[in-house]
Structure 1
């Protein structure tokens, strides 16, 4: 007889590791397939509207009303597509741990007014009754205004979308005292009397791409990324989100955020009822202002983007010189008389020399106007770290692409008036 003994402990461990790796790979593959399927559907839907309405407008080029209707629908679909892209990029940044929050001073009342300006057309189109109450002692705070506004708009737009026409929506913002006396806990409550959610869906509402099985909801456009993004943003601000909902009775979302106070004094607390009014001076004019005689250097390497910017900026009467990369912009500026350019719009990603290096090179020139000329980033790089990088390179502001006409006019008015 021959007896052979072999220790297979390590072999079993390797096999177990291989099984776990295979299961993880299969799960990742399913998640990737689910992601691609969801994105293919949600991106193609507004793209179909854009392409289809463009074709219809071309066929009815002599009918101004029909063309105007097509352009309105193209605009709506374009903004929807941009929203989808932004949500996907935000979620990708969050999952990779690369999403950074900025810290800048802001006034909470102004932030709420700006958010309601954006959501008001949706409320009016659905004929919703809207109630607003703000009771905050410290309104001068420090935080990422863009992300806080994103939380507000996501909650409000969901309430509008998932509440039948003529429904009721309320927004309440209050303040409670956190453990740290130098901070304020801002409590945001959005409540509606809409479709509501089943207990089963509430358990998975924070899963990426989760959509309710309710056929009334399935017909409403959405990626299923909004609520996961809101929860992650709230957590990054040392906060939380809670949900109370009942089918056909509505939903109540409560978000708590811990924010630093800008200065330890009593802010302009108040209670608002209805939609707050907006200072007319903060609203861009309907017609372009006249900046005739002002000279702008536009730096852009993409021909189509150049054409769009030329049209939008040129409508104000400003004289525009063009450069196709940062090196060319630097040479044009060096060759110009001192004080020749009143403003520079600078793309970031360009060949030969990128916009950040070009801005640094202009600021380093030994001439007085090189230090004072406003340089504004006009770029599709829109994350907080991109805006910080532009500031560190010596730029004075940031206009994201796609270009918002109102923001562009406000930028021109600020630096050319």
Structure 2
């Protein structure tokens, strides 16, 4: 195309654009049949298809393109779709509002003087080549980017002097964006690799460490059967089965705990005894410590404000995670100590506590300390360390500390031991009256309705309760239990132990229905629920159904007796 043809085409384009502007028509999807004879005269229609085709072509090219008048601030005549995309504008109306529909409004104010000098040079000096200039623009979302501008000036008496300009993001800007994209991609790949490593470590640890207690359970069960006539041997095998079962349960519990913590809304604060909570965790781990002949110590004598408001379950879980880690990784004959002290008293009845768990165990290498709280991380696998676990205990501890807005620090030396220090702040009550003696539990004559659909579980629960002196009546599902309670006389049942997941009618429905019975004595029979699903959300649902206490499966008989004792006293 020669200069004359170029100018003639530009004249037709500008003439058409003026017609569109005067009639409030956007230059999108231009077709000849869309224009009546009144809008475009017969002489205007000469070359009309070529003009429409040119505008459609300019709208589809990948780079930004605009035409503007050379005089004044440079009123814009036309912008293509790619330029709208660069400015993050969906419509030409948005672009006009953003720029004031002038070329000066396109350029960042701080760069206008230099760009204006370039425009003047183009007009007076460079009449045949495309002029090049770089400047910044501000997009609709407020971000500022650098663009490259290739413009050409046309002097035209018919339509006025104009510039047509090709605009694109500058090479430097593209390089910056590419560098940023590469950085983000590298971070994403790094995170993905860490996740893959964590997954592989988890699968490797759990496949080995779960098979070990399972092999023990199957093996010692076979031996117990073979020596069924030798009570002492069978008792020893049963002890080993019990130990392996607890190892397996501990692994499963940790996986469920970390899943529950990741979805937890936050700690539920209730009144609880801090020292008692720590002591219960200590007593729970005592058998494991005795088995390894450890010096297992607890010191919370200096705590004055023991009644606090906190999430008791999470707090006990924190102590168990840290103390269990110490007991697990301390060799036979070693020392583990749990210390609880008050550090500071703050205004509004808040108290700062320090929980310290120290041991003289195998210790942690300095290079691993930075990753010690990562999920599924273990410094050595169980084959090398001789210790079973899936690397979640410390992750759970760190998650709970973060949830309680506390802090946790660790100091460790290989072959010398580790010390974990946790700082927590709780709202406390005045000193608990320790002089009040608790009543001795004498409720072993209670009549208990045990609701359980699994025959093995029902047999175990019935025999254990009856050996303790309770009177037990079974029910195979919630519907049978509801019918038994509804037809009972006051005093027939003192307590219901209710499984939650059952056919016909589950424990949720049965408990709620019992609470709706007309006889108030029957409607208020205490209910203890047993569930394999230990998530906190289900404990809340249990309360809504009128359940008095909710315990997890496998059944811890000691905890069940404590729950029965509390209900009996109440």
TM-score bracket for the superposition, by shorter chain length:
0.7 to 0.9
Measured at CA, do residues 58 and 105 of structure 1 come closer, stay the same or move farther in structure 2, by a change above 3 Å?
same
User: What does residue 326 of structure 1 align with?
Assistant: 478
User: What does residue 231 of structure 1 align with?
Assistant: 398
**In 2, Cα distance between the equivalents of 1:230 and 1:368?**
44
**Is 2:551 aligned against 1:384?**
no
**Is 2:298 aligned against 1:122?**
no
Counterparts in 2 of 1:138-287, with a 5 A limit?
Answer: 138-177=305-344, 181-213=348-380, 218-261=385-428, 263=429, 265-266=430-431
Shift of 1:42: 2.2
Measured at CA, do residues 32 and 187 of structure 1 come closer, stay the same or move farther in structure 2, by a change above 3 Å?
same
Shift of 1:350: 2.0
**In 2, Cα distance between the equivalents of 1:214 and 1:252?**
21
**In 2, Cα distance between the equivalents of 1:189 and 1:317?**
41
- Count the aligned residue pairs: 397
Check the 8 A contact 2:202/2:390 in 1, yes or no.
no
User: What does residue 277 of structure 2 align with?
Assistant: 111
Shift of 1:113: 2.6
3-state SS in 1 of match to 2:472: strand
**In 2, Cα distance between the equivalents of 1:242 and 1:164?**
23
User: What does residue 273 of structure 1 align with?
Assistant: none
Please tell me the root mean square deviation across aligned C-alpha atoms, in Å: 3.5
3-state SS in 1 of match to 2:250: helix
Q: Deviations over 1:224-271 (max 9, x none)?
A: 10000000001111111101111222211101122221x2x24689xx
**In 2, Cα distance between the equivalents of 1:32 and 1:125?**
32
Q: Deviations over 1:346-381 (max 9, x none)?
A: 111222322122111111111022233111112223
User: What does residue 17 of structure 2 align with?
Assistant: none
Measured at CA, do residues 309 and 131 of structure 1 come closer, stay the same or move farther in structure 2, by a change above 3 Å?
closer
User: What does residue 301 of structure 1 align with?
Assistant: 453
Measured at CA, do residues 227 and 393 of structure 1 come closer, stay the same or move farther in structure 2, by a change above 3 Å?
same
Q: Which moved more, 1:371-380 or 1:20-29?
A: 20-29
Shift of 1:327: 2.2
**1:353 equivalent among 498, 505, 520:** 505
Measured at CA, do residues 408 and 240 of structure 1 come closer, stay the same or move farther in structure 2, by a change above 3 Å?
same
Counterparts in 2 of 1:88-107, with a 5 A limit?
Answer: 88-95=255-262, 97-98=263-264, 101-107=267-273
Check the 8 A contact 1:100/1:385 in 2, yes or no.
no
Q: Deviations over 1:105-148 (max 9, x none)?
A: 22222223322222333333333334543322311111122222
3-state SS in 2 of match to 1:204: coil
Measured at CA, do residues 339 and 32 of structure 1 come closer, stay the same or move farther in structure 2, by a change above 3 Å?
same
Shift of 1:182: 3.0
Gap regions ≥5 residues in structure 1: 270-278
User: What does residue 366 of structure 1 align with?
Assistant: 518
Shift of 1:90: 0.7
Measured at CA, do residues 245 and 297 of structure 1 come closer, stay the same or move farther in structure 2, by a change above 3 Å?
same
Counterparts in 2 of 1:334-349, with a 5 A limit?
Answer: 334-349=486-501
TM-score (norm 1): 0.83
TM-score (norm 2): 0.62
**Is 2:222 aligned against 1:55?**
yes
**In 2, Cα distance between the equivalents of 1:408 and 1:66?**
29
